[in-house]
């Protein structure tokens, strides 16, 4: 579900034609739909309305402060993974009381800021981290609210780089170690364990692994209550999948229908940490054709966006639809759609059947709203793309295209090599 549609052969985002954005902002540019963001957040929020819940949008999926602000204004909390994301959250005007913080390697500095700001809870991923939180909170005369991140040991059937809840993954604590960890936290004066957290992976299209994980954790919750742990939150993480190609992911309603009966009896506030589900199909990467190169064994469409702008195809072999911004009657050809970067792995799509393009034609890489811009880099000294937010007939640049000076802004040539 998204708000990118053709009107008389022209691709629009809501009421704005993408070719207009290309004229005014140039390419490559990320374009996001306000209506799609709100639609996805709203559907999930309504689906869980029968139970107390908090949807903490996962900032890493798309961390632009305009996107974060949009969701927070709609009522979302945030899931953050670093001090940088906390900085963005505060810039976007989000209350720390709605922020949860997971991450396998939080530094003392990051923990200190989270404790000072009084975030909802820190998801603790190791015992040494727990000790550090206690020390940091004690030094500031505070009590830090925490949850332990538990590995429920289920296989979410997704790409191995984005599966996180299995015993061999680096995230969280083994289920068997959890009780001792909570007991240790209870013995501390500056830490209070108020939640339990897990995140089993990403782009999960079936609710079944969530249900399996929840069922593995429920006996632990009962045991912790027996120990007098003042649990208030059960955070089941993010990971809800979307349609990139031909997947049939569970709708918010179906997901909720499976999860609610499992968690309702324990009467904790359910926390969800969706990123992709909210932002994924709310964004496209707009790019321009530089050359169409016919080859002996393969054709290549060389476009002005590359792996530095969108790394998912190169990194995970991820599929993104690539569509023309103007439909044409040109005969169809089969080609790889590649960027200008000096790597054979620099492709946005391979073996695509598309209308034969000409230089200057515009294309949209679909489903690029999550883990698109946020994973982009300056590789090959390419400036990072501009970002635009559309709402109805209006649009605005929410991140300017980097300038050439930005590339070298933090660099210097030391005297001793001159
Ligand atoms: N919560 C935690 C603790 C996470 O680590 C993540 C994602 C999320 C929530 C949000 O997951 P989502 O709902 O977006 O699936 N770069 C990869 C995805 C990596 C996900 C990392 N953690 C990709 O492009 O597919």
SS3 364: strand
Q: Which of 41, 54, 60 to mutate to test the pocket of ligand 1 (most atoms within 8 A of CB)?
A: 60
Catalytic sites, residue numbers: 342
How many A from CA of 273 to the centre of ligand 1? 9
Q: Block means of pLDDT (10 residues each) for the chain, length 418 residues? A: 96 98 98 98 98 98 98 98 98 97 97 98 97 98 98 83 74 94 98 97 96 97 97 98 97 98 98 98 98 95 98 97 94 97 97 97 98 98 98 98 98 97
Rounded CA separation 352/142 (Å)? 57
Which residue stretches of 239-394 are H helix?
252-263, 276-279, 312-316
- As given in the structure block, the two tokens for residue 376 are 């982009």
**CATH class label, 4-31+280-407:** mainly beta
Rounded CA separation 223/225 (Å)? 5
Rounded CA separation 199/51 (Å)? 20
SS3 337: strand
pLDDT for residue 155: 85
Rounded CA separation 60/402 (Å)? 20
Rounded CA separation 394/15 (Å)? 8
398-to-66, 143, 157 alpha-carbon distances in Å: 6, 37, 35
- C-alpha torsion sign, points 115, 168, 275, 219: negative
Domain boundaries, the chain: 4-31+280-407, 34-276
Q: Which of 76, 273, 310 to mutate to test the pocket of ligand 1 (most atoms within 8 A of CB)?
A: 273
- As given in the structure block, the two tokens for residue 417 are 């090599």
Atom of ligand 1 nearest to the CA of 202: 15
Ligand 1 pocket at CB < 6 A: 58, 60-61, 79, 102, 162, 199, 202-203, 237-240, 273-277, 312, 370-371, 375
Taking the CB of residue 265, how many other CB atoms lie within 10 A of it?
8
- C-alpha torsion sign, points 77, 83, 84, 90: positive
DSSP string, 211-258: HHHHHHHHHHHHHHHHTT----EEE----B---SSS--PPPHHHHHHH
Rounded CA separation 63/85 (Å)? 7
Asked if 258 contacts 220 with a C-beta cutoff of 8 angstroms, the reply is no
Q: Which of 61, 151, 314 to mutate to test the pocket of ligand 1 (most atoms within 8 A of CB)?
A: 61
Query: Is domain 34-276 in CATH 1.10.287.70, yes or no?
Result: no
Asked if 388 contacts 30 with a C-beta cutoff of 8 angstroms, the reply is yes
pLDDT for residue 168: 77
- As given in the structure block, the two tokens for residue 196 are 């339990």
How many A from CA of 169 to the centre of ligand 1? 14
The whole-model pTM stands at: 0.97
As a whole number of Å, the end-to-end CA separation of the chain is 57
- In the block, tokens 């998801």 appear at 123
Do 4-31+280-407 and 34-276 show the same overall fold?
no
Rounded CA separation 148/100 (Å)? 12
How many A from CA of 381 to the centre of ligand 1? 27
pLDDT for residue 326: 97
Asked if 38 contacts 248 with a C-beta cutoff of 8 angstroms, the reply is no
């Amino acid at each position: 579900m998204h708000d990118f549609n053709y009107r008389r052969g022209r691709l629009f985002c809501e009421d704005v034609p993408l070719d207009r954005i290309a004229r005014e902002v140039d390419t490559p540019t990320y374009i996001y739909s306000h209506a799609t963001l709100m639609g996805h957040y709203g559907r999930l929020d309504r689906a869980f309305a029968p139970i107390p819940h908090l949807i903490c949008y996962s900032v890493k999926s798309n961390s632009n402060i305009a996107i974060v602000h949009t969701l927070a204004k709609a009522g979302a909390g945030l899931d953050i993974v670093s001090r940088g994301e906390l900085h963005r959250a505060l810039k976007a005007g989000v209350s720390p009381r709605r922020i949860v913080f997971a991450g396998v390697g939080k530094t003392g500095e990051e923990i200190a800021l989270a404790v000072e700001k009084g975030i909802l809870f820190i998801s603790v991923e190791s015992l040494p981290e727990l000790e550090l939180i206690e020390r940091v909170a004690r030094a500031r005369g505070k009590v830090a609210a925490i949850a332990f991140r538990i590995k429920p040991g289920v296989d979410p059937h997704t790409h191995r780089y984005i599966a996180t809840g299995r015993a061999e993954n680096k995230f969280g604590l083994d289920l068997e170690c959890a009780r001792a960890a909570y007991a240790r936290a209870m013995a501390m004066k500056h830490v209070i364990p108020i939640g339990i957290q897990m995140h089993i992976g990403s782009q999960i299209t079936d609710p079944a692994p969530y249900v399996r994980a929840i069922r593995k954790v429920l006996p632990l919750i009962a045991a912790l209550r027996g120990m007098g742990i003042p649990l208030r939150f059960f955070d089941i993480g993010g990971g809800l999948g979307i349609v990139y190609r031909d997947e049939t992911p569970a709708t918010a309603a179906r997901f909720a229908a499976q999860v609610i009966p499992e968690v309702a009896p324990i009467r904790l506030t359910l926390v969800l940490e969706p990123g992709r589900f909210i932002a994924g199909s709310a964004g496209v990467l707009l790019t321009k054709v530089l050359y169409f190169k016919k080859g002996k064994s393969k054709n290549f469409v060389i476009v002005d966006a590359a792996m530095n702008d969108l790394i998912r195809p190169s990194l995970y072999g991820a599929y993104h639809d690539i569509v023309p911004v103007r439909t044409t009657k040109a005969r169809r050809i089969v080609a790889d759609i590649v960027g200008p970067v000096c790597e054979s792995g620099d492709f946005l799509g391979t073996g695509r059947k598309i209308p034969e393009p000409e230089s200057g034609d515009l294309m949209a890489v679909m489903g690029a709203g999550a883990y698109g811009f946020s994973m982009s880099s300056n590789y090959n000294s390419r400036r990072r793309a501009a970002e635009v937010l559309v709402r109805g007939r209006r649009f605005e640049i929410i991140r300017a295209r980097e300038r050439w000076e930005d590339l070298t802004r933090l660099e210097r040539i030391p005297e001793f090599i001159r």
